[in-house]
Structure 1
Amino acid sequence: MFIYGKNAAIESLKVNKNIKKIFILKKNTRRDEDTIKKIAKEKQIEIIEMSLSELNEKFGSNHQGVVVEVAEYNYVDLDQLLNEINNQEHATVVLLDGLEDPHNLGAIMRTADATGIDGIIIPKNRSVSLNQTVAKVSTGAIEYVKVSQVTNLVQTINKLKSVGFWIIGLDMKGSIDYRKQDYKGKIAIVIGSEGFGISRLVKENCDFFVNIPMIGHITSLNASVSASIIFYEIMRNRFEN
């Protein structure tokens, strides 16, 4: 897998132990490239310097002068994730139901890291997976946010309930304004796809539904935008309490 961009490359170098090599623009004197080279040399990672035309030919033009080759990202086992956060009073996980756009997942991971979300859960089928687009859009958050991939979201919800989680679905027809919901305790936020929302069986297993009020002409928001609104409200709610 290849990770594109300076910020994503730096974060990968800091924490990823499975970096194979780095491709970097030859004769680049920018400070961030110097930082990348310095860390790579300290960790004895192979550095391959290339001309701009060589980088463009191999990786396309959207690389910002640096590309990191890493092993495929590993998912965190659900039981392992739950064990790690079991003793947290205010643990928060996010379930993404049918989200297929890697840009959305990358953006959600970026905000999840910024707001202290403990983990993201995605289904194995009909869902985006961790790939290089997700890695680039997340600008390094993929190195920090734990992602679990499960076979069945409904079974996962039941497991979450069995260990004390409340399940909160984000739905445009939800009965509770998202600003009035109590986010204390262990919670799981369910976000559906932009086209179809939360699937029927998953919806039947949610405990509450919150909505984001809208006064304009458009009736829905991008999934990553909706996630950002909810994540920051959860953080604000908990800081105030």
Structure 2
Amino acid sequence: MDYRRLEKIKRILQRRQPDLTLITDNVNNFRNLSAIIRSCEAVGTMEVHLVNNQQEKLYLINKVTAGAERWLTQTRHSSIVTGINHLKKRGFTIYATHLGDPEGICCAVRTLDYRKMDYTKPTAFVVGSEKKGISEEALENADYHISIPMMGMTQSLNVSVATAIILFEAQRQREEKGYYQQLRTSQEIYEKTIFEWAYPEAALAYRANKKPYPPLTETGEIKRDYKSSKASS
């Protein structure tokens, strides 16, 4: 393990936002999905939640993601309601990105300008496909509906572009609060993720054998005495 790479891993992890995430509501266009995942990683999320009822396997375009998927936990849910409830139980506020006009009414929930909301609390955005938008189930189960004001004849943005705009507003708010200047994960998750990022193949092997990850030296090497003791056991 190169020491400079280890330091970069630590630096990135220290900026991660465990209470900022996103759920895709049947975003079936793989190029859009890939761009969304790239934006999620760029603002420091640790995970992304995916709902896709049309395809068993989701394909990502590496040229679009730029490898961002390697640094994010991807969790698939059987339905958008299941995904939303999963995050609500963890204390997240759910924001559905709605194409309606700001200050409009949909499903008895006011649609608000996305810039008026507080994203420094545990936040999960729901984004839908370009053709169908957000599902009725997502709108009904979200805590708030948010929208990006449109000033032209065009009344919506590409879903990946809209997602990036909203995510970077969350980043801006969190930067002002100093969230990116402090470790916001537990020490246990921090150390666990360092090992998984530094040694992804070894991490797979340890998980397959149901063994805990070994400790690392200050320079990022797996401790020799730990490896030898495991090999002999």
TM-score, reference length from structure 1 = 0.60
1:159 aligns with 2:95: no
Query: By percentage of residues, which structure has more helix?
Result: 2
Secondary structure at 1:234 match in 2: helix
The 8 Å contact of residues 112 and 231 in structure 1, kept in 2 or not, is answered as: yes
Alignment correspondent of 1:99? 27
The 8 Å contact of residues 118 and 145 in structure 1, kept in 2 or not, is answered as: yes
Which residue identity does 2:139 align to in structure 1?
Answer: K
Counterpart-to-counterpart distance in 2, 1:128 and 1:194: 20
Which residue identity does 2:54 align to in structure 1?
Answer: R
Which residue identity does 1:165 align to in structure 2?
Answer: F
Instruction: Tell me which of 116, 119, 126 is aligned to 2:47.
Output: 119
Identity level (%): 35
Q: Unaligned 5+ residue runs, structure 2?
A: 6-15, 103-110, 178-233
1:232 aligns with 2:183: no
> Shift of the alpha carbon at 1:211?
0.6
Query: By percentage of residues, which structure has more strand?
Result: 1
1:193 aligns with 2:129: yes
Counterpart-to-counterpart distance in 1, 2:93 and 2:56: 25
Counterpart-to-counterpart distance in 1, 2:41 and 2:17: 18
The 8 Å contact of residues 120 and 146 in structure 1, kept in 2 or not, is answered as: yes
> Shift of the alpha carbon at 1:159?
2.1
> Shift of the alpha carbon at 1:207?
0.2
Counterpart-to-counterpart distance in 1, 2:175 and 2:118: 13
Alignment correspondent of 2:188? none
Counterpart-to-counterpart distance in 1, 2:57 and 2:50: 8
Which residue identity does 1:120 align to in structure 2?
Answer: V
Counterpart-to-counterpart distance in 1, 2:175 and 2:48: 22
Q: Unaligned 5+ residue runs, structure 1?
A: 1-13, 15-87
Counterpart-to-counterpart distance in 2, 1:203 and 1:105: 20
Counterpart-to-counterpart distance in 2, 1:117 and 1:127: 25
The 8 Å contact of residues 81 and 141 in structure 2, kept in 1 or not, is answered as: yes
Alignment correspondent of 1:3? none
Instruction: Tell me which of 144, 149, 159 is aligned to 2:71.
Output: 144
> Shift of the alpha carbon at 1:128?
8.4
Alignment correspondent of 1:110? 38
> Shift of the alpha carbon at 1:124?
4.1
> Shift of the alpha carbon at 1:130?
3.5
The 8 Å contact of residues 105 and 128 in structure 1, kept in 2 or not, is answered as: no
TM-score, reference length from structure 2 = 0.61
Q: RCO greater where, 1 or 2, for CA within 8 Å and sep 6 or more?
A: 2
Q: How does 1:206-221 map to 2 (within 5 A)?
A: 206-221=142-157
Which residue identity does 1:125 align to in structure 2?
Answer: N
Which residue identity does 1:103 align to in structure 2?
Answer: R
> Shift of the alpha carbon at 1:161?
1.0
Counterpart-to-counterpart distance in 1, 2:98 and 2:27: 14
Moved over 2 A (4+): 126-131, 133-136
